[in-house]
Amino acid sequence: MDSGKQRRFAKRGKGFLGLTRADAIRYFFGGNASLAIFILLLICVFLFKEAAGFLPGHHAGLTKWRRSGQEFVDILNVAVDGHTRLGSALNIGYFAELNATSKAEQQQLFSYRAVLQRVKGTVRGPAGRLKKLLKEFTEAGEKLAEAEQDLAGADLDPARQASLRAALPGYRAVIAEVEPRIAMLEERIAEGVAEALAGDEVWEGQNLVADDREAVAEAICDQFEAAEQKHPWVAGLEDFVREKKAERTPQLAGFKEAVTAFRNAIRPVKDLISPLREAASELKQQAIAAESAPKRKAALLAGAEATNDLAERARKLAAAEAVVVAAPPYDEVAEGFYAETAAFEAVVADLRKEIDAAVEALPATGELADPSARENLERFRNSLADYRESLDRAVARAKDWRHDEPYPQVKSFLVFLIGKEWITNSSWHDFYGLMPLFTGSLLISMIALVVSVPFALGAAIYVNQMASRREQNLIKPAIEFIQAIPSVVLGFFGIMVLGTLLRDVSQVSWLAWVPGFPLQERLNILNAGLLLAFMAVPTIFTLCEDALNNVPQAYASGALALGATRMQTILRIIVPTALSGIIAAVLLGFGRIIGETMVVLLVAGGKIQIPDFSKGIGVVGEAAHTMTGIIAQETGEVDRGSLHWRALFMVGLVLFSISLAVNWGAQIILRRFQRHGT
- Which of the residues 561 through 580 are near another protein (CB under 8 A)? 563, 565-568, 571
Nearer to another protein, 38 or 613 (CB): 38
DSSP track, 35-104: HHHHHHHHHHHHHHHHHTTHHHHHHHHHHHHHHTTHHHHHHHHHHHHHHHHHHHHHHHHHHHHHTGGGHH
Q: Peptide bond before 518: cis, by omega within 30 degrees of 0?
A: yes
Q: Note whether 1 binds another protein by CB under 8 A.
A: no
**Using CB under 8 A, which of 233, 387, 413, 455 touches another protein?**
455
* SS3 state of residue 624: strand
The Cα–Cα gap between 499 and 598 comes to 15
CB of 667 to another protein, least distance (A): 7
302-341 residues near another protein, rule: CB under 8 A: none
Work out the angle between the directed axes of helices 70-98 and 253-264 (0-180°, nearest 10).
170
- Of the ranges 103-111, 373-381, 382-390, 456-464, which one interacts with another protein (CB under 8 A)? 456-464
CB of 172 to another protein, least distance (A): 19
Q: Are 220 and 112 in contact (CB under 8 A)?
A: yes
DSSP track, 413-459: HHHHHH-S-EE-S-SS--EE-SHHHHHHHHHHHHHHHHHHHHHHHHH
The Cα–Cα gap between 607 and 604 comes to 8
Nearer to another protein, 306 or 349 (CB): 306
Nearer to another protein, 409 or 642 (CB): 642
Q: Note whether 209 binds another protein by CB under 8 A.
A: no
**Using CB under 8 A, which of 104, 145, 156, 184 touches another protein?**
184
CB of 465 to another protein, least distance (A): 8
Listed residue (246, 227, 217) closest to 101, CA to CA: 246
224-283 residues near another protein, rule: CB under 8 A: none
* Length, in residues, of the chain: 678
Work out the angle between the directed axes of helices 643-677 and 579-594 (0-180°, nearest 10).
170
- Of the ranges 246-254, 262-270, 346-354, 483-491, which one interacts with another protein (CB under 8 A)? 483-491
* SS3 state of residue 605: strand
- Of the ranges 165-173, 228-236, 417-425, 586-594, which one interacts with another protein (CB under 8 A)? 586-594
Q: Note whether 632 binds another protein by CB under 8 A.
A: yes
Query: In this structure, what are the phi and psi dihedrals at residue 535, rounded to the nearest 5 degrees?
Result: -65, -35
Q: Note whether 49 binds another protein by CB under 8 A.
A: yes
CA-based radius of gyration for the chain: 36
Nearer to another protein, 241 or 655 (CB): 655
Nearer to another protein, 265 or 587 (CB): 587
Number of residues in contact with another protein under rule CB under 8 A: 97
Q: Note whether 463 binds another protein by CB under 8 A.
A: yes
Q: Note whether 70 binds another protein by CB under 8 A.
A: no
CB of 59 to another protein, least distance (A): 23
Q: Note whether 346 binds another protein by CB under 8 A.
A: no
Dihedral through CA 519, CA 523, CA 525, CA 528, nearest 10?
130
**Using CB under 8 A, which of 233, 387, 413, 493 touches another protein?**
493
The Cα–Cα gap between 482 and 402 comes to 59
Q: Are 606 and 565 in contact (CB under 8 A)?
A: no
Q: Note whether 604 binds another protein by CB under 8 A.
A: no
The amino acid at residue 151 is L
Nearer to another protein, 161 or 473 (CB): 473
**Using CB under 8 A, which of 170, 664, 671, 674 touches another protein?**
664
Q: Note whether 426 binds another protein by CB under 8 A.
A: no
In this structure, how many other beta carbons lie within 10 angstroms of the beta carbon of residue 16?
Answer: 10
Exposed/middle/buried for 677, CB within 10 Å: 0-12, 13-18, 19+?
Answer: middle
- Of the ranges 11-19, 213-221, 470-478, 609-617, which one interacts with another protein (CB under 8 A)? 470-478
As beta bridge partners, residue 520 has: none
The amino acid at residue 178 is V
83-142 residues near another protein, rule: CB under 8 A: 125, 129
351-380 residues near another protein, rule: CB under 8 A: none
The Cα–Cα gap between 521 and 620 comes to 11
Q: Are 116 and 223 in contact (CB under 8 A)?
A: yes
CB of 505 to another protein, least distance (A): 14
Q: Note whether 25 binds another protein by CB under 8 A.
A: yes
Q: Are 420 and 432 in contact (CB under 8 A)?
A: no
Q: Note whether 488 binds another protein by CB under 8 A.
A: yes
Nearer to another protein, 4 or 153 (CB): 4
CB of 672 to another protein, least distance (A): 16
495-534 residues near another protein, rule: CB under 8 A: 495-497, 534
**Using CB under 8 A, which of 1, 33, 246, 310 touches another protein?**
33
Nearer to another protein, 606 or 618 (CB): 606
Nearer to another protein, 26 or 242 (CB): 26
Q: What angle do CA 388, 389, 394 make, to 5 degrees?
A: 100
Q: Are 623 and 629 in contact (CB under 8 A)?
A: no
CB of 288 to another protein, least distance (A): 22
Nearer to another protein, 67 or 646 (CB): 646
* H-helix segments, 13-53: 21-51
